[in-house]
Structure formats: C-alpha cells, structure tokens
Amino acid sequence: MNNFKVFLLMALMMSLLMVVGYFLGGNNGLILAFLFATVFNFGSYWFSDKVVLKIYKAKEVSESDHPRLFRIVKRVCLQAENMPIPKICIVPSKAPNAFATGRNMEHATVAVTEGLLSILNDDELEGVIGHEIAHIRNKDMLIGTIAATFAGAIGILASIARWGAIFGGYGRSDDNRGGGIGLLVAAIIAPIVAIIIQMAISRQREYKADATSGNITGKHLALASALEKLHKAPVRLNLDNRPATANLMIANPLSGKGIANLFSTHPPVKERIERLNKLSQKHLYKGLAG
C-alpha cells in the first residue's frame, strides 16, 4: 500500500510538471528545466554521501573501535537477506540521531551519533539500524532524488513564469494558454504543491522504513521505544539544526503541527509509534498462527 501511495504521488508530481509546462506554453523550456534539475539532483545523488559525512564530521570506525555497533549492523544486514555491510561512521555529537546515505547498497554508509549510542539499549539500537538499512534496501536515496528532480524542474519553471510576469513576457503571447490563471498556477501555486508532494513522499518512505525495520529485525516495539526516546531527548535532534539534511535523519525536530506538517519530511512521532505497535501485534499474531 505504501509503495502504491508513493507511485500515485510520483504520478501526481509528473502531471503537475506537465501542467505547468502547458500553462507556460513552452515545451522547450519544460525540457530544459527538467534536464537542468536532473543534472543537479543526480549530481547531488552521486556525491551527497561524501558531502553529508563531511558536514557532520562523521568518522568511519572499524570493528575494533566499536564492536557493539558493528555486531548489531552485521546482524541486521544478515537478517536483511545478506545485504552488503555498509560503511559505519560515528558523528561526534551528543544529539541522538542517525542517518543513512549512499547511492546504492554497494556504496552506502550508516552513521550514528555518540548521543544515540549512549541512550539506546541494544534492542533499540538494532531497531534504529534496521530503519537505516531499510532506507538503503528500499532505494530511498534514489526515490528522494527523483522526487527532488520533479520539484526542482517545477521550481525552475515557476521562476521563469515570475520573471516573465515582471518583464511583461506573459499575458500578450499566443502561447500563454492559461492566461492570468495559468500564470498564477505556474508561478505560485505549482511550486508549493510540488514541495507538499515531495514531503509527502518522504513521509511515506519513513513509514516504509519503520515497517521494513520491524520485518527485518522483529523489533517493532524496540524501534518505537527508540523513537520515543529520541523525541523526548533534551538535546536538539537535528544536530546543527540544518533543514537541508533533516530528511536524512531518523528523527526530525523540524516537524510541525497542523498545516505546517504538510511541509514536514517526517510523519508525527506519535503516528509512527502507533503504527509500529499495530505491526508488532500483527507480527505476534502471525507467529502464533504459524
């Protein structure tokens, strides 16, 4: 069901891009905007792991450096159908959080903070590692990049529309199919809707990673406990409070309530915990039935 929702959101994003292109009346501009966004975002996709790890001063560690962490990562990868063991890094921060990055399973990194390691027991840590391994396994970096490409292309076209309005390039041309309403949609409404869709996709991937972690490790309740601890942690979760990388983190303090939640990269922690509790009950029932 989660994958179907993401498919529908992606289709809606693509449709929105085509509508904006139609209103602007410039197929060439549509193609150029899409190509520019593609190059930019896939460049980010290819090199973002190095950039993010450098931003947070993450240091790769060996098994002898941190046997507890390596033991848990190895166990989760073994449970995940012998998935390749990613590079393991520790971020020198007391803010409890974790993230995964990398373009595929063969080039992936799992990073955890010192703060996370200090407040979680082994079961909770395994649930968190399972969540990050799930992001790698589910190709969430690629899916996020594709969504960002569509959103970026729509943003570029919106900028073209706004500059066209400023310099009087729209409203007189025969190619302006949408008239004033089309310009309003292309310049203002479309980019906002694109961001909302992009964030909705991100939230669905978080739900998916939670569920996949539970399926891999069987520790739904431990992950729920870890999320509750992270949510209640007195130290800021997003490390240096960088909104640009908030989507990578397992727990995001930038989430809002009400309308603001539409622009959040993560679902509300309460809903994630409730879902994990329900999944745990289903998992237990299947075990008893089996």
- The 3-state DSSP class for residue 104 equals strand
Distance separating alpha carbons of residues 148 and 42, to the nearest angstrom: 9
Torsion 71-76-78-82 (CA) sign: negative
pLDDT at position 41, please?
67
Those residues with Cβ within 8 angstroms of residue 201's Cβ, 6 or more apart along the chain or in another chain: 6, 9, 10, 13, 143, 144, 147
- Asked if residue 57 lies in contact with residue 95, where contact means CB atoms within 8 angstroms, the answer is no
pLDDT at position 164, please?
63
Would you please indicate which residues are annotated as catalytic (active-site) residues?
132
Torsion of CA 154, 157, 165, 185, to 10 degrees: -30
Element (H, E) at 207: helix 190-217
Torsion 212-206-71-46 (CA) sign: positive
Q: At what angle do helices 140-166 and 2-24 cross, to 10 degrees?
A: 20
pLDDT at position 276, please?
96
pLDDT at position 71, please?
97
Distance separating alpha carbons of residues 150 and 158, to the nearest angstrom: 12
Backbone dihedral angles phi then psi of residue 140, each to the nearest 5 degrees: -70, -25
Give average pLDDT by consecutive 10-residue segment, the chain, 290 residues: 75 75 64 72 73 88 95 97 94 92 89 95 98 94 79 77 61 50 69 87 93 95 96 67 71 61 85 95 70
Those residues with Cβ within 8 angstroms of residue 89's Cβ, 6 or more apart along the chain or in another chain: 53, 58, 59, 60, 61, 109, 110, 111, 112
pTM: 0.80
Torsion 266-269-270-273 (CA) sign: positive
